[in-house]
Amino acid sequence: MTLFQILAVLLTLTAAFSAINYHFIKLPTMIGVMVVALIMSSSIIALNQLGVDLRPWAHTLLGEINFDKTLLQGMLSFLLFAGALHIDLRALRDEAWTVIVLATGGVVVSTGIVALLTYRGLGLIGLELSFGYCLVFGALISPTDPIAVLGILRQAKAPKSLEIRITGESLFNDGVGVVLFIAVLGIATGAGQASLGHIALLFVEEALGGIAFGLVIGWVTYRVLKGINNYQVEILITLALVTGGYSLASLIHTSGPIAIVVAGLLIGNQGRKFAMSDTTRDNLDSFWEIVDEILNAVLFLLIGLEVLIIDLRWSYVLAGLLAIPIVLASRLISVGAPLSVMRRRRAMERGTVRTMTWGGLRGGISVALALAVPPGPHRDIILTVTYIVVLFSILVQGMTVASAVKRWVAPEPST
């Protein structure tokens, strides 16, 4: 299939499923599209049991799309920029230490807890997965997905400080999680070094290098925007920043996700205030909002379709169900421990830990990283377990996080 044909199929399915959801299911658009895609995928699997095998066509389509590369090397840059563009930098600065601790130490702690509990849990049900690959699973499932989080939080109406905490963490822990995933995957496969020094060097190159590179490309773009007063040209410049900046970051071995988030924060604050007219701001916001909505819908469509390539043998499904409380428990510990220390010095809303635990959604990035694991029996286990955790996260946590915020969070912060 040509690129145009793939895009035609994806956009047509997304539009059709959005319409079905709008008329009949009436869920939030992203979740509704994924539910309809799951229904269609389940129908294809059921038809196969009746002798009507449509899976070869579906496998061909999904093989052409290559989910992990499509998301990690394409869609992710647009979605992260669109999310970062509307984050208030002053509010984020107030929560800087919280975000830094949760996005770095929190991810590392969660990875270790998930790995240990998963290794023990799989042994209890008779599945074998080396501790190295359990670490791989911990690394890919620990970061919260900014794409899923941002979409749901818009409807949750959480207090501003809590929203900044969750969105800021999700935007940055994504890049940290990818770096950690690369490191532990190299160790598990024997392709990388297991030394702490090597992992620290990789972190500096990818994470800190991504921040520095994001500041550079963001500042250059800001200076260019400041000298232009034409919203069509300025929108094109932001597109060049996202595509060119993300690609260049990969070439120089820094974190593209972190670089784009930093650049997006700079353009969304400094650029919006000093380099744009009111007309440009309005058109830029409208453009990136549309891009964000379309790509989110397509992403959730792909998540729903990926069930067609998942190995759904009973032992793997049981492992996935076992992983759900493990991931939630690790999230509770990795968030609760540092916040319990921090709240001694600053006020936080009642229910912050519970809300951040339940609101720490997993999404397409975890699935994409699982698909990036080299082929083998370990990959099948990791992919199925990851997929089940992501489905639970989006369908159960995502659908209830708004009511959880209303129930758990007090209107006034407490010490």
Using the predicted structure, report yes or no on whether residue 385 has a pLDDT greater than 90: yes
| pLDDT for residue 192 is more than 70 | no
- Rounded Cα distance, 153 and 362, in Å: 13
Residue 213 vs residues 80, 209, 246, 377: alpha-carbon distances, Å: 16, 6, 10, 38
What is the per-residue pLDDT across 118-141, written as a single tens digit (0 to 9) for each? 999 999 999 999 999 999 999 999
Q: What is the mean pLDDT of residues 182-191?
A: 86
Report the chain's mean pLDDT, rounded to a whole number.
Answer: 90
- Tokens representing 349 are 């809303």
Hunting for tokens 């400094």 — which residue is that?
270
Whether the CB-CB separation of 173 and 192 falls below 8 Å is answered with no
Tokens 């032992």 belong to 315
List, as one string, the DSSP characters of 348-400. B-TTHHHHHHHT----HHHHHHHHTSPSSHHHHHHHHHHHHHHHHIIIIIHHH
Number of H helices, E strands in the chain: 22, 0
In what helix (H) or strand (E) does residue 352 lie, and over which residues does it extend?
A: helix 352-358
Is pTM beyond 0.85? Reply is yes
Mean per-residue pLDDT, 366-394: 94
Distance CA 68, CA 71 (A): 5
Residue 194 has pLDDT above 80, yes or no: no
**pLDDT at 201 (0 to 100):** 83
Query: What is the rounded distance in angstroms from the CA atom of residue 116 to the CA atom of residue 192?
Result: 21
SS3 175: helix
In this model, does residue 411 exceed pLDDT 70? no
**pLDDT per residue as tens digits for the range 3-27:** 898 899 999 999 999 999 999 999 9
pLDDT at 239: 97
Residue 322 pLDDT > 90: yes
Angle in degrees, CA 35, 361, 295, rounded to 5: 55
Q: What is the mean pLDDT of residues 163-170?
A: 89
Residue 325 has pLDDT above 90, yes or no: yes
pLDDT value for 412 = 45
**What pLDDT does 103 receive?**
93
pLDDT 10s digits, 218-256: 999 999 999 999 999 999 999 999 999 999 999 998 999
DSSP at 345:
T
What are 321's two structure tokens? Answer: 């169900």
| Contact between residue 84 and residue 265 where contact means Cβ atoms under 8 Å apart | yes
SS (H, E, C) 240-285: HHHHHHHHHHHHCCCCHHHHHHHHHHHHHHHHHHHCCCHHHHHHHH
Neighbours of 124 (CB within 10 A): 8
Q: Is the pLDDT of residue 323 over 80?
A: yes
Q: Could you tell me which residue, 415 or 57, shows the higher pLDDT? A: 57
pLDDT for 414 beyond 70: no
Would the pLDDT of 114 be above 90?
yes
Is 413's pLDDT higher than 60?
A: no
Closest listed residue to residue 226, CA positions, set 192, 271, 285, 180: 271
The pLDDT-based confidence of 345 (bands split at 50, 70, 90) is confident
Model confidence at 415: pLDDT above 60: no
Banded pLDDT at 356 (limits 50, 70, 90): very high
For the segment 257-301, what is each residue's pLDDT rounded down to a tens digit?
Answer: 999 999 999 999 999 999 999 999 999 999 999 999 999 999 999
Task: Please list the residues that pair with 414 across neighbouring strands.
Answer: 348
What's the CA dihedral at 181, 183, 187, 189 to 10 degrees? Answer: 60
Task: Give the residue-averaged pLDDT of 61-78.
Answer: 88
What is the mean predicted confidence (pLDDT) over 164-169? 89
